[in-house]
Every structure is written in C-alpha cells, then in structure tokens.
Chain A
Amino acid sequence: MLNVSPRQRPYETLPGLNPLGIPAVAPLPTGESADTQRLAERFGADILAAGLHHGQQVVYVKPSQLVALAEFAKNDPQLQYEALVDVSAVDQAELPIAGDASRFQTVYQLRSYARKQHLMVVCPADESGGADAPVAPSLAGVHKGAIWPEREVWDLMGVRFAGHPDHRRILMPDHWPNHPLQKQVPVGGEEVPFTLTWSDPEFESFGKQVMAAESKPPVLPPGMNRENMIINMGPHHPSTHGVLRLVVELDGETVVNVDPDLGYLHSGFEKTGEDKRYKDFVYYTDRMDYLSAMSNNMSYCLAVEKLMGVEIPPRAQVLRVMMAELQRLASHLFWLSTHVLDVSGTGMALLMYATRERERILDLFEMACGARLTVGYMRVGGVSRDIPPAFLGHLEDFLKAMATRIDDYEAMLTHGPLWGERLIGIGKLTRDEVINMGLTGPMLRGSGVDWDLRRDMPYSGYENYDFKVPVFTEGDCFARYLVRMEEMRQSLRIIRQTIDNLPPGPYRAEDRKVTPPPRAELDVSMEALIHHFKLMTEGFQAPPGMVYHGIESSKGELGIFVYSDGSAKPYRLHVRGPSFNNLYAISKMSRGAMLSDIVTNIGSIDIVLGEVDR
C-alpha cells in the first residue's frame, strides 16, 4: 500500500519563531456594496456576513440558502451573476474557529459579464452528519460549470455535494485512501536521503510510494451503453496534448458520449503550496501551465500582492505586461502548431515555422531571466531582475520579423479548403452554453461573449494600453481559431506599446519586508543584512484574509485563491486553471460528431494537462 510518511520538520515548530496570533481566521468582510446590500435585503438572516474584503465583494451564506442565492444572483436583473467561475473549499481544522463552527467551508466565485462584477460566496458546510462527513448543496442545477469543480472539491477535500449529478472522483485514482487536501493528511513524499548510505536499513523504505498495481476490471462511465463500441483515447495518445484519457462511446464512427478521465499528471500543487513560503511557490507556478509560465507567475504574484497590499513600481508593471504578452504569443504559437499537426496531418511545416518564432521568444526570456520555459521571472513585489540593455533591440528585431508571419500562417490556413473543412461548424457552443459551463478565454470570445479580463477588470496597468478584444459569434472551432490569431496580433500591438512606454525606475518594490535589498546595500547596512536574512530564512508573513485574483492567461481566466492565516505560508492555495474548466465542454462539443472531430475539439480547447490536473 501507499507510503505517505509525514515529513518531520521540527525547526519550523520552535516556540517563538511565529508571532502570537498565528494561526488566525480570515476576518469577516466590512462595509457594503450595492450588490451585497441587495443580497442581504433579500436573504436577511440567512446571510451570515456580507461586505468588502480586500476590495472584493464577499457574502457568507448559510448552506440551506446557497442554491437560492446562486439562482437569485443569476436571474436578478440588478445582479446578473450569470457565470460560476470557480469552486474551492477550505479545511479550517488548524484554525482557531469557534466550537460550533463547521470545519469545512466552500468558496464560490461568481462573475457578472454584463455588469463586470465579481462576487465571492462563502458557505460553511453542513456537518450535522459529523465533522468528517461535510455536505454542501450542489450548484450543478444552476450552473453546469459547477459539476467538475465540485467533483474536484470532493476528490481533494472530501466535501460531499448533495444533489450532484455525477459524484465521482476526478483526479485521484478511485481507490485512493484519503482526500489529500484535508489538513490531517500529510504532504507525503519521501525523506530526502542526504546522509543515508546503501547499508542503512531505512533505505529499504524508499521506492514504496508507488501504489500496489492491482488489475481492476474496467468501469463503464455513467450514461454509457455497452451495446455501442467503447474505446479509450489516451492517456498515451499523440493527439491528446499530454496524458488526457477520454473514454469514448461510438456508434459506428459517430460519437455518442465522451467521458474524460483526468489526473494522470496530478502533481499536488495545492498541497505543496501549503507547505511552501509565499515567495517559494512562484517557481512551482511555472510548472502548472508550462506553456505560459509568465502568466502563471503573474497571476500568483498579483494574488499575493493583493493580500499584502504591496504597490508595484511602474517599470515592473510594464515589464510584467511585456513578458505576459510575449508568453501569450508563444503559447498561441505552440497551440497553432500542434493544432495544425493534429488536424491536417500535413501540418509539420507549420510546426516548424511556429516553433521557429517561438524559439526567438524563448531566447528573449533567456536574456531576461536565464531560463527558456520555466522562467520564474516575476516575484512578489516586482520582477526578479531588470532586462539587460540588449533586450529591447532583440525584441524590436523580433517584432519586425513577426509582423508578417501571422499573415503567412493565415495564408496557409484560413482560406484553404482543408482547414475550413475540418474546423467550420465543428464543436459548436452557443453563448448561453459557454457562460453556463463557466468557460473562459477564447472559448468565451469565440461564442460571442465580449469579455476579456485585461480590458474589463484591468490589472497591472492594462487599462493604459490600446488593444482590441476579438469576438466571433459562430461558436465553432474556426471562430476560436480566428480569435486566437487576432489575439496574437493584438499582443504584438501591446508589446509595441510596452517598448514605447517603458518607464525608468526600480524593477521591484522598495518594501524591504517583501523584496530583498540590493546586493550593494548588504555591504554597508546592517539593517539591510537583517532584512535579507529574515526574508531568505523565514519569508514574509501575509495578514490573515482570503483573496481571489484572476488574470487573462492565454487559455482563459487563470485564478489564484489564497487563504492566509497570518503565517509565512499560505493556509490554503487553490488554482483555478482555465484548461480544467474549459475541458468540461469536450463532451458537449463532441457528441454527435465524428471520432476525428474529437481531436479537433481538443486542439480547439487548447488544454495543458499540467494545469488541468495540477
């Protein structure tokens, strides 16, 4: 069986290392906004607390009224919270909560596209059946987008959802013994044998982390009929962009049903994040969506900065935008090359062309931070270092070369008969469907929803840039292709503007509690030395609270939810990966289509399995 030995770290529990008051519960929201006021009026005593917290609208609601609240918020003309963006849960076992308070609470992120508003709903779980059997009402009846995130919460946190239509595990294997994100479950892993020799008896225990392989009879996913042919696509398949497994029910060559099986790349990011200091988790975010590492960095740093209330100097903001847009370009180029390779079969040429341009972007990243793929360039409080003097010249050269390249790709594809044949009318999604399923990014814009977080909820100074948000109403794979092609052009425009408007000044915040002092200062200032030592050994402590920050990554809304208990490590860290929520649409898109259209649809959703499975 599985060996999940807890790792002992006695030095971290020394008395006096942590100040008093840690851990602490996130404070309740204060003040009010028009939306929270309206909800409080409508639900009265069922609202436990409502108001603003770190500038976010937060509502605490009793579990009995959660579904009613979601329905009201969705349908009320003054609220119009039409989409459920994310579901997560917090295990408060290690927090000083009141005796009768419930141990688990579920957290929902609601979004109004029409009113450009965001609402966080917190709901304590119903633990009348015992503290180890928490139950929350399922929102699947109101938002289809709740189905997968709720399965994820059940799988990782062990909160059961009453009335959920498909209550199975989603990431971990079916026979996994625990719910890993619960606080009593150790991080697991193996002791690192720094001092062991081969003759030590402890050495025997290594390598026992692999679960015993048992041959299990295949389980038919619910809703499938054994009369039809059931085939497996993946987890080892050239067109699934990683280790995605699809169980496909076929009638002839027509797809009747698709059931994705995830978790083949589940790496425990969220649990690892709870074990790392705030400043150390930046490097892990690179490895989630490894095609847009810069965007991941940015999203995480912005969430922590929101929690800390750190101000970022203008130069750092512009550098971040520049890198994030370069990354979007690189990610879209990679999407294009693999999509063409999957769909048209003759796309090897485009793979070579697009990777040629992508390599130049990776060269630029290497100039800026020394790494190609997992960059770790951004830090809480700014960026890790300034760009070298030659960087801008190379970037200019790249922009000059890139200007005509996108047209070249389009000339090969857009008006070609083969490309249209495989994409037009395939994987159609209507406007209502994409909103209800909680899809984001090009999936949303390809179906006629005019929404881009960069423009509608600007962060990092995106309000200062002039760019267009491409929107197409067809809702098929071709529309999503056109959206991404146009986004590449707009990214080039934004990068051009960042070069023109790059201000001089510091590249990271001067706040010594968050960013280390410059090297030169260490030689002359004792205070700088102390700051540096404290920062490198203990990290910085964030005030108690919970924040959600979403950015427009290349694949959609990448959100980070952080619950802080006042210590130097996040108490709960949740990632809302756009690929995960977008992939939910695969069964809707593929039903009734041909088997080969599944490959088109996977490419069109643009998934990265590192982010789907996290």
Chain B
Amino acid sequence: MGLEDKLPEGIITTQLETLVNWSRENSTWPLLFGLACCAIEMIATGSARHDISRYGSELFRASPRQADLMIVSGRVSNKMAPVIKRLYDQMSEPKWVIAMGICASAGGPFNNYAIVQGVDKIIPVDVYVPGCPPRPEALLYALDMLRKKQGTDSFRTYANLNAPPPPAVPEDIPALETLRRPQLA
C-alpha cells in the first residue's frame, strides 16, 4: 500500500515538519548561563550521574546565537533583567525558555525590592519547573515536557508575520542610500 511499498528498503516518508521537529527535540542546545542556586543543579544535571546528553542537550553554548533553549536558573534581579532580555533577543528563532525553580517562575521567597517576580514578566516562558531548587530529575522532566511541545510545533509558529513583503519587481528595490538614510537620521 502506498508510496513506501514502491520505494527500496531504508527509505521512509514523512512530513518535513515532523522531521524538523524530531531533530529539534533531540538536539536542543541550552545557553551556558547560570544565575543562582538552580544553576548548580543545572550543572549537576549536566554531569555524569544525571547525564543531560541523553537528551541531546549536553552542548551548553556560551553564545546566545548558537543556543535554542534558555534555562533561567535562579532569581532574576532588577539589574540582571535587561541582560536576560537582551540575551533572549540575541538567540535565534526558534527558541524556548525553561523557568527553573520558583524564583524564576514567580519570585519565590524573595518578594522584595530587588527581585523580579518571575522571569515571565520580561520573556515568554515555555516550561515552569517548581522546586527550590528543582532536582536534576525535575529539570530532565521539564526537558521531556519541552520535547512534547516541540513535537507539535508547526512552521507557521515561527513565520515572521511582521516581515515586509518582498519587492515585486527589480525596479522597486530602493537604492542602498535610501535604505541607509533612515538609520542615519
């Protein structure tokens, strides 16, 4: 039945979205970035006993340009908040965020002047992990949850809806000078 019968052995058919999602869920690279106590448990997750590389996430990237996942591991202070926002903006799409621990989720025990009451005030969060700090197993479970979410993503989610339409005819392309002028002004 179907196309697969006609194909030689070793070839399967699938949807492009499914293939892309499959590769994304199995190699989500987190940003090498720790804030507080939860960062220590994040490191413990990366070390031998808990072995985050079973999830393809052992490659903690120091550059946000190369990272897919931001694990906000700890309390976010008012001074740090703009930095986190910028790091998030620097990550390329598609990108995901795990708020690890109660501080990153909702401020936790630090309901005071210094701490932002949840990192979701500044960036969108995909998975919240309770705990103070969450055990490594909890972070691995959060990665499982994230994989589930990644598996149902469609390309439409990441389509840049605000992008200007491409110019129709070559004559419409503005000269380089006109593009530069608004930036200089």
Residues from chain B with a CB closer than 8 A to the CB of A373 are: 37, 40-41, 133
A268 touching B36, Cβ below 8 Å: no
Beyond the given pairs A213-B85, A287-B109, 6 more chain A to chain B contacts, judged by CB atoms under 8 angstroms and listed by A's residue number, are A172-B79, A189-B107, A189-B113, A236-B83, A243-B80, A373-B41
Segment with Cβ contacts to A, from B15-23, B42-50, B163-171: B42-50
Partner of A610, one of B33, B37, B114: B37
Segment with Cβ contacts to A, from B3-11, B115-123, B148-156, B173-181: B115-123
Q: Check A334 for interface membership: any CB of B closer than 8 A.
A: yes
Q: Check A503 for interface membership: any CB of B closer than 8 A.
A: no
Distance from A286 Cβ to chain B, minimum over Cβ atoms (Å): 8
Tell me which residues from 237 to 278 in chain A have a Cβ below 8 Å from any Cβ of chain B.
Answer: 237-238, 242-243, 263-268, 271-272, 275
21 contacts between A and B (CB under 8 A): A180-B114, A190-B111, A207-B118, A210-B116, A210-B122, A211-B78, A235-B80, A235-B83, A237-B62, A264-B83, A265-B77, A265-B80, A267-B75, A268-B112, A268-B115, A271-B113, A271-B114, A356-B48, A372-B135, A374-B133, A609-B36
Residues from chain B with a CB closer than 8 A to the CB of A206 are: 117
Distance from B75 Cβ to chain A, minimum over Cβ atoms (Å): 6
A264 touching B80, Cβ below 8 Å: yes
A272 touching B112, Cβ below 8 Å: yes
How does the 8 Å CB contact mask read for A448-480 relative to B, with 1 for contact and 0 for none? Answer: 000000000000000000000000000000000
Q: How far is the CA of A2 from the CA of B116 in the complex (A)?
A: 11
Q: How far is the CA of A275 from the CA of B41 in the complex (A)?
A: 28
How big is the B interface, by class?
35 or more
Q: Check A223 for interface membership: any CB of B closer than 8 A.
A: no
With A236-B87, A265-B75 as given contacts, are A242 and B34 in contact (CB-CB < 8 Å)? yes
Residues from chain A with a CB closer than 8 A to the CB of B113 are: 2, 4, 180, 185-189, 268, 271
Tell me which residues from 333 to 365 in chain A have a Cβ below 8 Å from any Cβ of chain B.
Answer: 334, 351-352, 355-356, 359, 362
Interface residues of A (CB under 8 A from B): 2, 4, 7, 172-173, 180, 185-190, 192, 206-207, 209-211, 213, 235-238, 242-243, 263-268, 271-272, 275, 283-284, 286-287, 290-291, 334, 351-352, 355-356, 359, 362, 372-374, 609-610, 613
Q: How far is the CA of A375 from the CA of B122 in the complex (A)?
A: 30
Q: Check B141 for interface membership: any CB of A closer than 8 A.
A: no
B36 touching A265, Cβ below 8 Å: yes
B79 touching A266, Cβ below 8 Å: yes
Q: How far is the CA of A372 from the CA of B131 in the complex (A)?
A: 12
Q: Check B145 for interface membership: any CB of A closer than 8 A.
A: no
Sorted from nearest, which 3 A-B pairs have the closest CB atoms? A188-B113, A189-B111, A290-B37
Q: Check B82 for interface membership: any CB of A closer than 8 A.
A: yes
Partner of B35, one of A238, A265, A272: A265
Partner of B109, one of A243, A283, A356: A283
Partner of A352, one of B48, B80, B85, B133: B48
Q: How far is the CA of A235 from the CA of B41 in the complex (A)?
A: 20
B77 touching A266, Cβ below 8 Å: yes
Residue among B48, B64, B74, B113 having the largest count of chain A Cβ atoms under 10 Å: B113
Residues from chain B with a CB closer than 8 A to the CB of A290 are: 36-37, 40
Residues from chain A with a CB closer than 8 A to the CB of B37 are: 286-287, 290, 373-374, 610
With A290-B36, A290-B37 as given contacts, are A356 and B77 in contact (CB-CB < 8 Å)? no
Closest residue of chain A to B90 (Cβ to Cβ) is A236
Partner of A242, one of B39, B47, B48: B39
Residues from chain A with a CB closer than 8 A to the CB of B85 are: 213
Residues from chain A with a CB closer than 8 A to the CB of B41 are: 372-373
Residues from chain B with a CB closer than 8 A to the CB of A374 are: 37, 132-133
Q: How far is the CA of A189 from the CA of B106 in the complex (A)?
A: 11
Residues from chain A with a CB closer than 8 A to the CB of B81 are: 210-211
Residue among B78, B117, B118 having the largest count of chain A Cβ atoms under 10 Å: B78
With A266-B79, A352-B48 as given contacts, are A238 and B32 in contact (CB-CB < 8 Å)? yes
Distance from A358 Cβ to chain B, minimum over Cβ atoms (Å): 8
A242 touching B114, Cβ below 8 Å: no
B36 touching A207, Cβ below 8 Å: no
Residues from chain B with a CB closer than 8 A to the CB of A237 are: 62
Residue among B79, B81, B132, B135 having the largest count of chain A Cβ atoms under 10 Å: B79
B114 touching A268, Cβ below 8 Å: yes
Q: How far is the CA of A275 from the CA of B111 in the complex (A)?
A: 11
Partner of B44, one of A173, A242, A355, A610: A355
A267 touching B82, Cβ below 8 Å: no
Closest residue of chain B to A284 (Cβ to Cβ) is B109
Residues from chain A with a CB closer than 8 A to the CB of B107 are: 189-190
Residues from chain A with a CB closer than 8 A to the CB of B79 are: 172-173, 263-264, 266
B78 touching A173, Cβ below 8 Å: yes
Partner of B43, one of A173, A235, A267, A355: A355
Q: How far is the CA of A372 from the CA of B111 in the complex (A)?
A: 24
Residues from chain A with a CB closer than 8 A to the CB of B133 are: 373-374
Distance from A128 Cβ to chain B, minimum over Cβ atoms (Å): 30
With A265-B75, A355-B43, A355-B47 as given contacts, are A242 and B115 in contact (CB-CB < 8 Å)? no
Residues from chain B with a CB closer than 8 A to the CB of A4 are: 113
Distance from A270 Cβ to chain B, minimum over Cβ atoms (Å): 10
Residues from chain A with a CB closer than 8 A to the CB of B121 are: 207, 209-210
B36 touching A610, Cβ below 8 Å: yes
A188 touching B112, Cβ below 8 Å: yes
Residues from chain B with a CB closer than 8 A to the CB of A236 are: 33, 64, 83, 87
Q: How far is the CA of A286 from the CA of B38 in the complex (A)?
A: 12
A238 touching B62, Cβ below 8 Å: yes
Q: How far is the CA of A107 from the CA of B170 in the complex (A)?
A: 74
Closest residue of chain B to A359 (Cβ to Cβ) is B49
Q: How far is the CA of A185 from the CA of B132 in the complex (A)?
A: 28
Closest residue of chain B to A287 (Cβ to Cβ) is B37
Distance from A613 Cβ to chain B, minimum over Cβ atoms (Å): 8
Closest residue of chain A to B78 (Cβ to Cβ) is A211
Partner of B117, one of A207, A265, A613: A207
Closest residue of chain B to A171 (Cβ to Cβ) is B79
Residues from chain B with a CB closer than 8 A to the CB of A291 are: 40
Q: How far is the CA of A521 from the CA of B183 in the complex (A)?
A: 76
Residues from chain A with a CB closer than 8 A to the CB of B87 are: 236
With A190-B107, A238-B32, A374-B133 as given contacts, are A271 and B82 in contact (CB-CB < 8 Å)? no
B78 touching A189, Cβ below 8 Å: no
B82 touching A213, Cβ below 8 Å: yes
Closest residue of chain B to A173 (Cβ to Cβ) is B79
Closest residue of chain A to B41 (Cβ to Cβ) is A373
Distance from A210 Cβ to chain B, minimum over Cβ atoms (Å): 5
Residues from chain B with a CB closer than 8 A to the CB of A609 are: 36
Q: How far is the CA of A429 from the CA of B93 in the complex (A)?
A: 47
Distance from A354 Cβ to chain B, minimum over Cβ atoms (Å): 9
Residues from chain B with a CB closer than 8 A to the CB of A192 are: 111
Residues from chain B with a CB closer than 8 A to the CB of A359 are: 44, 47, 49
B36 touching A287, Cβ below 8 Å: yes
Q: How far is the CA of A96 from the CA of B9 in the complex (A)?
A: 89
